[in-house]
Structure 1
Amino acid sequence: MNKNLYLALNKSAVMFLFLALAFLGILKAQKLPLPPRANDAISGSTFKNQIEALNIDDREKQIYQEVLNGNVPNFLRDLKPITFSKSIKDSTYVVTYFVLPDYLAIGSDIDYFLVPMTPILAQKIAKAIGFSLPTKHMVDQIWSNASLKMAPTPIPPSPQMTTIPVMWEHNLLLKKQRKEALLQAPLGDLVAGHKKDVVISNKIYESSPKPVVIYGWHYQNGTPIQPVYAGHSNTYADYSHGIRLVQDSVLINNKMGLITTLLQDVDKSSLFSDEGVIEKPFYPVDKAQ
């Protein structure tokens, strides 16, 4: 073989290996950007007791402070990659985005609370750390990629379903279900199917007052219990709702981009949305908006 050709091929192989290792490094390095959990941070059950008698505004102030202070289980810290490819017109896009392995929780790995919250609070938390909420299309992708697809465990509907006791009751049901599957999928693996997602959608801005848009809670066959629904106000949260934070930064053909920017692009929005362009890929953070 010609020496120059050999060197060129060798250089290309080295460069390919370097890029591959760098890419793998990026996949492994994505973490939830919160402070380490303090040694004296309260447990999920203690937090539940503290907020049980609070009104929703005071409750959500407490949730915000606990999350931003880092009182989040360690198993939620390492983000999970979702990778796919799609051809749009004459271009092929290889995309990797990063998501929480489970729904947002407060507490420790042993004693945590998958705490529902309004989309107003979810958006505030997401904005504070450079994250977003998923679209319907992304919820389906996350479910398809999950190591553990948990069967939904509904509680009969009642006026109490928006209260902390019922939210905690559901949390205990899910923890029991999760414990039974630890050998199959240890804590930190990507899990889905056990909550309805609060999602980004054009429906947020189609009515006034602004609604919360929910979707998901997939059966084992992949059919969601909850189709896209926007019938509750943005101050509503019940036991079945979960907050799956998604890192806004995304790898697209090995270049960094923002999901919220791509959702506003006529062509590339279809990478993340099955309802076309989402011009406002976020919730208002003021309930009066």
Structure 2
Amino acid sequence: MYRIPFGAIYKIALSLICFVFTTSGTINAQKLPLPLPGKNAISGSAFKNRIENLSLEEREEEIFQQIINGNIPSFIRGLVPITFSSSINNVNYTVTYHVIPDYLAVGSDSDYFIIPMTPNMAQKIANAIHFTLPTKKMVDQIWSNASVKLAPSPIPPSPKMTTVPVMWEHNTRLKEQRKKALKQAPLGALVAGHKKDVIISNKIHENSSKPVVIYGWHYQNGTPIQPVYAGHSDTYADYSHGIRLVQDSVLINNQVDLISNILQDDDKCTLFSDEGVIAKPFYPLK
């Protein structure tokens, strides 16, 4: 369900709480608003075994419960700021928004599973914590700002690419890549290039039978393997998809707003969108 029309005053108040400033004007470290994992939280590999033979619906419910209950690696909890400047109609804007440093995963720092999911589940998680998904423009900004730009590691296409074993195989590859880059940047640094992003776009609502929009998976030279593509149903997710959560609260010229509001603004939408106004910046939930 679309969140913007209800509780607008509450959400702005929440946004103001989310942004905490030091006396120097810089933004303090922010974290995902999720609880710490319980004593019985399972590892990424145990989670893989748990969901391997489940239906899609059962698998996604397991994903939701694990993430909402805080069973995520600690290195994903700390949000990373992205700051940029832009001029629109002779007005200069300085913008800071916050993203998770890697794609959503279940488990611990030593044993985690970067888990693909349908856009509906990604939106459900985002709604629950007042976050959003990135636009194409934001995916490019995140890649440009990443401390670690991992090379894509594709697996040959097959009917099995939507299955948990192939998702786990890709996860294992990514962990090896990340391990080699630890000297360059520790866990918690911004990482990009290793997955296609599920993004916010007008294309979500242009074809109700194929609303999933994906983009990214950048080569080392910055060229994405995947152009903006809307060719899958809302029940589709394969090993190459990643979910990058973005805090909906954003700082624009020292004023707090919401990315979801800005995307609907005729003038300021270009701060986050290269396709103009995105009137419905969300995936519809059933």
TM-score, normalised relative to structure 1: 0.91
CA contact (8 A) 2:98 2:250 kept: yes
Pairs within 5 Å for 1:172-187: 172-187=172-187
Which amino acid counterpart does residue 32 of structure 2 have in structure 1? L
Partner residue in 2 for 1:195: 195
Unaligned runs of 5+ in 1: 1-18
How far apart, in 2, do the equivalents of 1:179 and 1:110 lie? 10
Deviations 1:141-160 (A, max 9, x none): 00000000000000000000
Cα deviation 1:234-274 (Å, max 9, x = unaligned): 11000000000000000000111000000000010000000
Q: Which amino acid aligns with 1:252?
A: I
Distance in 2 of aligned mates of 1:129 and 1:63: 15
* RMSD of aligned alpha carbons: 1.0
**Deviation (angstroms), 1:285:** 1.4
TM-score by length of 2: 0.91
Match of 1:66 in 2: 66
Find the aligned partners of 2:269 and 2:220 in 1 and give their Cα distance.
Answer: 28
Q: Which residue of 21, 24, 27 maps to 2:23?
A: 21
The amino acid of 1:90's aligned partner reads: N
Task: Quote the residue 2:51 is aligned against.
Answer: 51
How big is each residue's C-alpha offset from its partner over 1:127-167, in whole Å with a ceiling of 9 and x where there is no partner?
00000000000000000000000000000000000000000
C-alpha separation between the residues in 1 aligned to 2:103 and 2:263? 22
Q: Where do residues 118-133 of structure 1 align in structure 2 (5 Å cutoff)? A: 118-133=118-133
Q: One-letter code of the match for 1:217?
A: W
- What stretches of structure 2 of length at least 5 have no aligned partner? 1-20
- Distance across 2 between alignment mates of 1:239 and 1:151: 15
Q: Distance in 2 between matches of 1:23 and 1:69?
A: 33
Name which of structure 1's ranges 34-43 and 102-111 shifts more when overlaid on structure 2: 34-43
8 A contact 2:210–2:231 mirrored in 1: no
CA distance in 2, matches of 1:62, 1:22: 43
Matching of residue 114 in structure 1 with residue 111 in structure 2: no
Higher helix share: 1
How far residue 210 of structure 1 moved from its aligned partner, in angstroms, is 4.2
Amino-acid identity (%): 71
Considering only CA atoms, is the larger Rg found in Structure 1 or Structure 2?
A: 1
Return the offset for 1:183. Answer: 0.5
